[in-house]
């Protein structure tokens, strides 16, 4: 059994998905990607993840909606928000799920190692 931490990346920008996936694979994470919330939710039906990195502006369902539905499917799943919206405000119901302002990363993230630090703080490791 593979004991690498499992991350799913939800982002509609292919370049962002590929960049994040390559970075996390270099850190020995098992990575899956989805280009929208709907695809991500389908993947959650068949695979278990430790962490989801979620863009907020997605075609169809937005990132907030993805998180609300994903936590029903996988209650232990943890989340980091990756958004280009400087105006993004964390909804109260997501705060109740344990998501904090410090879990929000504004694009572009100049120091990708900040992701690793936050992931370790969340207790996600192999």
Catalogue all structural domains in the chain, each as residue range(s) with its CATH number: 6-121 (3.40.50.2300)
Non-local CB neighbours of 126 within 8 Å, separated by 6+ positions:
3, 4, 5, 28, 29
pLDDT at 126: 55
User: Does the pLDDT of residue 125 top 90, yes or no?
Assistant: no
Q: What is the pLDDT of residue 3?
A: 83
Per-residue pLDDT, 116: 95
* Residue 125 to residue 21: CA distance in whole angstroms: 16
Pairing status of strand 78-83 against strand 104-106: parallel
> Each residue of 64-102: pLDDT tens digit?
999 999 999 999 999 999 999 999 999 999 999 999 999
Is residue 66 within a helix (H) or strand (E), and if so which, with residue range?
helix 63-73
Quickly state the pLDDT bin for 2 (edges 50, 70, 90).
low
pLDDT tens, 10-59? 999 999 999 999 999 999 999 999 999 999 999 999 999 999 999 999 99
pLDDT of residue 67: 98
């Amino acid at each position: 059994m593979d004991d690498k931490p499992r991350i799913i990346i939800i982002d509609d920008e292919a370049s962002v998905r590929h960049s994040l996936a390559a970075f996390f694979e270099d850190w020995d994470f098992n990575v899956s990607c989805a280009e929208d919330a709907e695809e991500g939710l389908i993947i959650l039906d068949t695979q278990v993840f430790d962490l989801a990195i979620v863009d907020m502006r997605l075609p169809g369902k937005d990132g907030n909606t993805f998180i609300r539905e994903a936590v029903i499917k996988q209650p232990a799943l943890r989340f980091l928000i990756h958004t280009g919206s400087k105006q993004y405000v964390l909804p109260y119901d997501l705060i109740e799920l344990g998501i904090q302002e410090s879990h929000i990363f504004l694009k572009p993230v100049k120091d990708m190692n900040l992701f690793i630090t936050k992931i370790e703080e969340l207790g996600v490791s192999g």
